């Protein structure tokens, strides 16, 4: 391969450290998102996808760091390889070139489905744990994302017609949090 080696890392929160992903992997340029995998708004991934060119290698720590689900994974890999970009998943030890065998395509689907299944199990266990903690009186929910003044300003600006995505970005919250505050949901539930 004569092209550049482009790395992509993703962690779910700004508090998490992405350094362990692609540690000791040589890349020419690195893109890192600090956003939940379920979010459609992954600006660094979009920048990376816009940056890669025919002949480049796109390197990701693992399949679950790239895609939200199996359909997203397959579509992204197909788009990249269709543009002449080699896709490499370090953790799974898989490389996709667009000239892949039926076995490679099976492995992509199989490993992607396993990653999606693992994530679903984690969320299910998390919900069960929260429910048990609530019943035991030990779970009080998260801290409010915004104080009363910020919440009032957010609601006022949304009512004035500002876009939810713009407000979410400015206030450092998710779009769902904006909708919840605007709807008057108790902020201690977020």
Considering only CA atoms, give the Rg of the chain. Answer: 20
In angstroms, the CA 127 to CA 20 distance is 27
Structure tokens at 100: 């892949």
Give me the catalytic one of 12, 36, 39, 104: 12
- Which residue has 């876009």 as its token pair? 163
**Selection from 160, 176, 182 nearest residue 168 by Cα:** 176
In angstroms, the CA 52 to CA 172 distance is 28
Please answer whether residues 158 and 151 qualify as being in contact, where contact means their C-beta atoms are separated by less than 8 angstroms: no
**Selection from 127, 135, 8 nearest residue 66 by Cα:** 8
**Is residue 174 annotated as part of the catalytic site, yes or no?**
no
Helices (H) and strands (E) in the chain, counts: 7, 5
Q: Name the strand (E) or helix (H) holding 161.
A: none
Phi, psi of 95 (to 5 degrees): -130, 135
Active site residues per annotation: 12
């Amino acid at each position: 391969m004569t092209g550049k080696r482009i790395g992509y890392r993703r962690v779910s929160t700004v508090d998490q450290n992405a350094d362990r992903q692609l540690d000791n992997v040589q890349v020419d340029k690195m893109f890192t998102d600090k956003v939940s995998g379920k979010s459609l708004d992954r600006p660094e991934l979009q920048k990376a996808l816009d940056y890669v060119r025919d002949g480049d290698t796109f390197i990701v720590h693992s399949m679950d760091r790239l895609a939200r689900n199996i359909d997203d994974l397959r579509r992204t890999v197909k788009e990249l390889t269709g543009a002449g970009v080699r896709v490499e998943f370090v953790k799974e030890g898989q490389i996709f070139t667009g000239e892949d065998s039926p076995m490679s395509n099976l492995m992509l689907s199989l490993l992607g489905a396993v990653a999606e299944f693992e994530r679903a199990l984690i969320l299910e266990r998390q919900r069960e744990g929260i429910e048990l903690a609530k019943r035991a009186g030990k779970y009080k929910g998260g801290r409010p994302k915004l104080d009363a003044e910020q919440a009032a300003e957010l609601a006022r600006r949304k009512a004035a017609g500002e876009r939810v995505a713009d407000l979410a970005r400015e206030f450092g919250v998710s779009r769902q949090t904006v909708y919840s505050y605007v709807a008057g949901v108790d902020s201690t539930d977020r």
